[in-house]
Each structure stands twice: as C-alpha cells, then as structure tokens.
Structure 1
Amino acid sequence: MTSRADLLAWLNELLQINYTKVEQCGTGAAYCQVIDSVYGDVPMSRVKMNAKHEYEYIANFKVMQTVFKTKKIDKPIPVEKLVKCKMQDNLEFLQWIKRFWEQNYGGQGYDPVARRKGAPTDTPATIAPLSTGRAGGLNVGGARSGGRTPISGHRSGSAQPNEAVQQLQAQLKDMSGHLEGLEKERDFYFAKLRDIEIIVQNKIESTQQESEGAPDDPTLLDIQRILYSTEDGFEVPEGGVDEEETF
C-alpha cells in the first residue's frame, strides 16, 4: 500500500494543489480531477474545488458518480463516509484512485490549472483529531516506558483531560452550528423551489382553462418535469417532495 505521504505528494504534483492531509480529499474535488486527468472530459466547471460545506462535497461526488456511470466504472463510492473527512475512509479510497490512475492514465499531458480554469483551490479545513502525537489527546501525561498512563491514572497538575473535554465541546458546538446552517440553507432553497412549483402549476391550469384543447406550454412542462424528476433508487416521501438527494 502507498503511504499517506507518498499519496499526498503524488496528488499535489498531479493536480498542483497543496493538500496536507488525506482527510481533505473528503470534499470530492481532488478525486474528480484525478479522474479528469485520465479521461479529460469531467465537467470541472461543476466541481467546487474550494468546497467548504458538506452539501458542496456531496455535489462534487454527484459529478463523480455520473462520470463513473457514464464510463462504466464498477466501483461503489461510499459518499456518506467520505464526506465526513475521516482519514481511514479517504485513505482507502485514495489508494484505489491512485491504482485506477496508474492502470488507466495514458501519459498524455495534463494541465490541471487550465482544466479547472484557474478556480481557487483553498486547502480544505478538516476537524483535527484529538491526538496528533504520542503525548496528545486523551493519553494523559504522554507515553512512558512500559506503556501509557491510563485516563484513570490522572497525574497531579495535568490539565490534559480537561483540555480534551474542552476540545470536544468546541468541536460539538462547531458541528451543531454547521448543521443548523445547512438546515437553514436547505429550507431556504426548498421554499424557492416550492414557490416556482406553485407558479408553474397555476400557469398551466390557467392556460388549460382559457384555451381548451390547445397544447401546453413546453417550457412550463419542462420546468415541471425537472422539479418532479428523481433518480434511480430515490423514493419521494409521503407528504411532499424532499429536495435532498440520496446516494
């Protein structure tokens, strides 16, 4: 298996980005562009290279799923796991991506900056793990000869357990705020779609009443079709259309 350091070095060189952690691949942007380097026809204008929110990550993976389906790439994409930006899940998928690239890349020249049309590629932020070293996180007092000091064996004067709790509380607060923001954004766009749906429906009904037998407006019908369209495996819940996509 390729090491994390080697994977990041390969990824940064190929795409001319500056990722420092495998977890940052959870945005989906880098995965999309690696596939683009193989085929050269991924719609990079739809890939948000500086995605910062989970709904943006999911949109990136939707682009990738479409490409996989078109190219008949028989590899499930564990979107729900990858967008959580956990190291192990993204490490395993990045290793697969590199193997796929090695087997299919034809050696053609590839300009990653031109392909993404100079779109900003801010290094994605991820929630840092509690422990970044042998003495970090919940390992009170650090490592010592013969084993680690257990949490219950709290040393006098050590503030590390309290710091760990504070860090967890800060992460929980940040995640709660992020979730609240996503819910508000979802409701905001859902309300807009609902308003459009009502306007279109009223216009179609009004036209039908005014001119019986006349063909319906094709533009309105196209809008209505888009509003009501779903994907394979997606079921409309009872009581209305849920605009959140499932993978």
Structure 2
Amino acid sequence: MATNIGMMDGAYFVGRSEILSWINTTLHLSLSKVEEACSGAVHCQMMDAVHPGMVPMHKVNFDAKNEYEMIQNYKVLQDIFNKLKITKHIEVSKLVKGRPLDNLEFMQWMKRYCDSVNGGGINNYNPLERREASKGGRESGKKSAPQQSSTKGSNAAPRPSSSHARRNSNDVTSSAHPSNQSAKASSKPSTSMAAYDEQITELKLSVDSLEKERDFYFAKLRDIEILCQTPEIEDSPIVAAIHKILYATDGDASVVTEAQAMLALQSKEAEALSPIAEASEEKSSCEIQKRKNILNSDVDAAGIITLSPRQRLSDASDVHCSGSPLMTY
C-alpha cells in the first residue's frame, strides 16, 4: 500500500486529463480543472469510497469557498490519515490557495493510494447518496445533472416528417442557414475560451515550478552564507571572494572578475613573502650548525682534561718509545 512515494515515481507522471476523468467517473462530478478540488471535500470522499464508513461525511463541506472552511475539510482528512496510519504530509497552506501544480501532485498521490487499496476497485458505492449528508453535497451532485439531461434532450429531439419538410422546404432552408451561422459563431468562442483556459493552466503550472526552483536555489545560497560565517574561515581570502559574489547588486557583470583578482593578489603576496621565510630558515640552520661545532670542541677539551693518570703514563711511554728528542734523561 503506497503511503509515501518518491517524486520520480510513475504516479507523478499521470496527466491532468486522466486525473479529472478518474475523479468525475468515481464521484459523479463535473470538474474541469484539478485545482477545483482544492477545498479538500473531494479528497475526503475519495477516502470514503476506498474505506467505506471511515469518513464522517456530515463534517465535509462541499460548498467551502473560504480558506478557513477548506481547512476544516483538511482536518477531517488528516484525522482519517491518522486513523489509517498514513504518514503522507498534507501541505494545506499550498493546497487551499488553488495552485494547480500542488493540487495536481496531491491528487496524483491520491490516485496512486486509491489504486493500491483493493486493486483500485470501488464497488457498490453511491457517491450521490453519500454526498447528501454533507453541506453543499446535493448542489455539487446536481451540477452534472443538467449537462447530462441537456445532452439527452438534444439527442432525443423529434425529427420533422418528410411531407412537412417538403411543404416547408423553403422555410426550413432559409431558417436553417442563420441557425447554422449562429451555431458556428457560438462554437468558436467556446473553443477559444477552452484554449485560453488551457494556456492559463499551463502558465500557472510553469510559474509554480519556477517558484519551487527559486526556493530551492535560495536555500542553497543561504547554506553557503551560513558556512562562510564560520569563525575558523570567515577571514580567509576565498570567503571574502564568495561574499563579494553573494552580495553583488543586480547588473554587476564584473563581480566574478573582481573576485578572481582578489584571489590572484593574495597568491602574489604569499609568493613575495616566501624568500624572506627561506632566508630566515637558512640563518637559523647556520646558527644551529655553529652551536653544534662549539659543543663538539667543548666536549673534546673536557675529555682531555679528564684523562686518568694511567692514561697519561701510557701516552708518555708511547712518546719515549717513538724516539722523540724531547724525551732525554
């Protein structure tokens, strides 16, 4: 059973037309846009269809227009999730605003969940009868009834007899021509309005996706700013260059070049200081060598002074045997 599914799951690639067809067929509604279900009442009845008897339909408000009324519907939905131990997070603040992308994603999740329960089969469920207990449920059920009755009435219109058609052929042709023109004229605005609605919906979806992308990258920049404020590195040249880029005003195209110049200047200063450091190292090594020579000479002198009398005697005998002219008796 799907409760939490990833954003790359196939459920989030289901189109709006398929979602709308699923809602209207299951609940006998006539929604034309997914965001029309932002009140949360449709979600509650979908859960009622999948889990009969779990949803208190008398608490669901299908006539919710204000946000506080919609929030009450989402509270009912959250209670159902808690009872069923569903851990899906409901972003109420985004859904009640009627944003197309957010409502589409949540309804895609709803379809995936309903399909995962009992194989998606909903049997012996009467959505109109269950909706009667809800506030505004009867009116929402009647919205689709006039459309169905009008289509049936247009298909069941009686045809004129052939004799009557022959007698009034001239009148029929003369009257049919303006009616056809009016029908064509009325069909053109309807198709153009549908095209405009489609374009508006696509624009809303693109705006929502751009807003999400903007928030994502802004959060990344904020994390970099917090990292640069660490006391151990906030005085380093690279952090200063990053700050220059982060806090640059709009239209400043040379900010990257200036940041690179700052780093290059810092590296040149480091190279200029390096010969001084080498000279100091050589001087210190010379001083260490001198100290070693002094210590060695002191040790040799001390060794001569501390010779024992026996060693001195042996040295004198060695000199006598060598035939030194200094040793005469």
TM-score between the two structures when normalised by the length of structure 2: 0.37
Structure showing the higher helix proportion among its residues:
2
- Tell me which structure has the larger Cα radius of gyration: 2
TM-score between the two structures when normalised by the length of structure 1: 0.49
